[in-house]
Amino acid sequence: MFKRLVPNLMVEDVNKTVKFYHETLGCFEVVLTDPESGKYDWAMMSCGDAEIMFQSRKSLCEKVPEFKNKEIGSSGVIYIEAEDVEGMYSWLTGKVEIIKELHNTPWGRKEFFIKDCNGYTIVFAR
């Protein structure tokens, strides 16, 4: 039986990504890094119950050589449930690329889409 799911996303610059998720998104904190200081090869971050890992292309390709020529940014979506999606929208407007404005879905959710600093799509929803 599964216990939890934590995505590990390939990025060019882990330090830049950590800064984006901490400062721009405003709640993610570093849980672990490798190495512990300096230029990171890998980092795990959390915000509430949400966890995500970021690994440098160089480091990840050493483990999974097939990723060498993969484009960073993927066709997947990082879906984050937020208590105050309207507040997140206001907070992020003008700071990030919003690719779908705040809207109500036919299934009763309120959500908006952004691009992170690596080109990954993030949906904030309530």
Q: Which residues of the chain have pLDDT under 50?
A: none
Which candidate, 38, 37, 43, 33, places its Cα nearest to that of 8? 43
Distance from the Cα of residue 47 to its chain's centroid: 11
CATH code where residue 18 lies:
3.30.720.120
CA dihedral for 83, 31, 58, 24, sign (positive or negative) = positive
Does residue 54 share a domain with residue 12? yes
Does residue 1 share a domain with residue 40? yes
Does residue 58 share a domain with residue 83? no
Run of H or E including 15: helix 14-19
Does residue 88 share a domain with residue 43? no
- Find the angle CA(64)-CA(59)-CA(40) to the nearest 5 degrees: 150
Does residue 100 share a domain with residue 60? no
Which candidate, 40, 46, 51, 52, places its Cα nearest to that of 12? 40
CATH code where residue 110 lies:
3.30.720.110
Does residue 54 share a domain with residue 108? no
What are the residues whose beta carbons fall under 8 Å from the beta carbon of 63, sequence distance 6 or more?
A: none
Does residue 25 share a domain with residue 3? yes
Does residue 77 share a domain with residue 63? no
Q: Please give the model's pTM, rounded to 2 decimal places.
A: 0.92
Query: What local confidence, expressed as pLDDT, does residue 42 receive?
Result: 98
Does residue 56 share a domain with residue 99? no
| Number of domains, the chain | 2
Does residue 58 share a domain with residue 85? no
Query: What local confidence, expressed as pLDDT, does residue 26 receive?
Result: 87
Query: What local confidence, expressed as pLDDT, does residue 114 receive?
Result: 98
> Which residue segment(s) compose the domain that 15 sits in?
1-69
Query: What local confidence, expressed as pLDDT, does residue 118 receive?
Result: 97
Does residue 62 share a domain with residue 83? no
Query: What local confidence, expressed as pLDDT, does residue 74 receive?
Result: 84
Query: What residues pair up with 53 in beta bridges, in sequence order?
Result: 8, 44
